[in-house]
Structure 1
Amino acid sequence: MHAPRHDYLYGLDLIRFASAVLVAFFHLGFSTWASPTSGGSKLIEGAYTLPAFAHFTWFGWVGVQIFFVISGFVIANSANGATPMAFLRSRVLRLYPAVWVCVPLTALVLLAEGLTANLRDKTIASMLLIPVGPWIDGQYWTLGVEIVFYACVFSMLALGVFRWIEAFAVLLAAVSGVFLVAHAFFADLDFLVEGKARVLLLAHGVFFSLGILIWLWSQNRLSLLGHVAVAFATFGAALQIRDHTLGMSERVTESPFVIGEYWAVAVAVWAASCLAIMLSFTMRHAFDRLSPGILSAIRAAGLATYPLYLLHFAIGVAAMREWSQAGLSPALGLFVVVAALSAAAWLVSGVAEPWIRGWLRKGFAWGEPRLLASSRWSGFLYRS
């Protein structure tokens, strides 16, 4: 059981987990049957539809945009005062253990389903977290975007300019926001928001920027220009969510309603989540009244978020198909499968990840003294 920490933002763990569940409900409860172009269409085999749930599941993809804001907040906080090597180590220890468990599990399911096209290359690229893929599962594209953002922060630390983090956030909001405005008028710019080009942060930079700016606000370090950037980033984020909704509306041809008419719902869910992120800081002491057991459970949910996100798509769709083909209610199956995936994610985060992370720490303990022995690398990676 985790010891309670009065400085820990337990609210962020709740938002993280809720966002992962939103994404899972979107994929398993909407996109796989509503969109013939969905990556899960080959797995579902027409086994089920859930039109009665559509109004509550179609916007679940906005959980990704929520993740990006949280990432901006958390990464800025973790990088503050860290050396480049400490930051790099923390990211490796956070990202790779879950991937090394979840990718092989997904590969086994795809192999069993006969979906072997490019499976070896997808597995290797995903295990190595190559930012441009190819990915073993559709949702992994977000990891490439995250890694590019991490690389930007790492570069600032390595160059000794992390004190300019607000300037970076303002610049990111400006570049990404201007691009999103331009994209709203010129559809020819689609090539910059699709495929490998997504790692350029043009479409999603506003979310990371907003997360950084919220962190600066929580530290009483947000300038007047920063407040202006918050407004611009928020506008750009709403525009990105609106444009994504309209674009997706053309692909979900089996939806019982035109989702493009409800883009404001997705914006509202995202905006409410951003407010919750801010409240997780301002009201953090409210969690002090909870028992250590409850706080430990909240922390466990936060840790399970990442493996849940990695596991839910191919494995979840295959499970939903089998459940439905057995004659069981797909509506009930949606909750059962997401709960089962959450339990599996809890095992990954609580058992497998700590074991792998322990070996990785030993690797760093062996390698870092050798880096320190080289003045060339020590000045670059251990800059304070």
Structure 2
Amino acid sequence: MKRILFYDDGSGFGGHSISAIDAVKYLLENTNLKVGFMFYQGNQRLYDRLTLLVREFKYLELYPIEFKAARFRNLGALLSFPVVAKIAQTISIIKPDVVIVVQGTIELSSLGLLAAKKANLKAISFIPLTQSLSLMQGKLSKLRDFINLHFYKLPDAFITTSAQAKYNLVQQGVKSKISVVYYGPDLRVWHRQERNISRQKYGIDNSDYVVALVARIELKHKGHDFLITSMAKYASKLENIKLLVVGDGSDEEKLQKLIQTSGLSERVKIIPWGNDLSYIYSAIDMLVIPSRLEGLPLVMLEAMYYGLPIVASSIDGMLEILPQEWLFQFGDSEAAIETLLRVKNSDNTEYLLNHKKRIMTEFNLDEFGKNFYKTLCEAQIDTKD
């Protein structure tokens, strides 16, 4: 294996994008592989991050394309014969030994799966979210889940990020090799900032207990609406708790209206996503992850590094990593608020020290990169004709 190509035609930028960039960085620093990245040219945040990498590693090859995933990505991909043919032609010219298709879900970058197969190249799906779309109650979810059964058959191998995600893939009928590779923060770039300065930066009073939700603002996925309605319902119990929502996304306007109508404007503040979250983690007291579905949230691992308690819905990577006392059933507002209050008032020292140790030894960029590269090599051997 001498040349690999990452492929991501999504217009959004989330944890799966960040972890893919981290994988690229590790491979460039520690292997002799020639690495390329094909991406939708309209994804400005992804382009900016890749451009920074090119400045550091001038031999990283970028291939911007004009195509992006359709609204109903799987159905749109199946019907996009000319587009798939053009992408396949471009990939064939690059001549990678393997195409790593960066997929938040199986629908994302599904054009890349089809193009790699049309070009008769090995395709590895790098995918953290493997649940049925019916769980999100989206439009045409049952039809899309049915179509996705076809896409789950296309990759020659899968790299996913939690044991639950691997289990879900098996339930989807996947027969290809599935490897679990845990990722985590780059310990070289994360630093604790001075707490008072960090709080002043975001206008946080020292008497406030600040809980942060750090995620794309996509209500059906990340559960912002569930958290806000839960806080409104039990507002009398919240005392000095304030919520800091960090992020942006397609549902930001809906969230703003929900905050206002719920009477939480004085308790909830939204700030835009930034490249350096160290001041956020240094300013807050707790992270909350109220997601309807997840993979292995990078923000959870970052919060573990910063010694923060994390209250989360009892699913996927959170269920696998966090103590049971910190978890609640999604949809149960009373349980969510009671868990938040219990963790706030508990001595979490033992858990926090153990989490920091696991970040230093298991969940970090170096371990992720080594295991990612090892998995690539094994998958390439296992899938040779």
Normalised by the size of structure 1, how large is the TM-score? Answer: 0.27
- Structure number with greater CO (CA < 8 Å, separation at least 6) is 1
Structure number with higher helix proportion: 1
Normalised by the size of structure 2, how large is the TM-score? Answer: 0.27
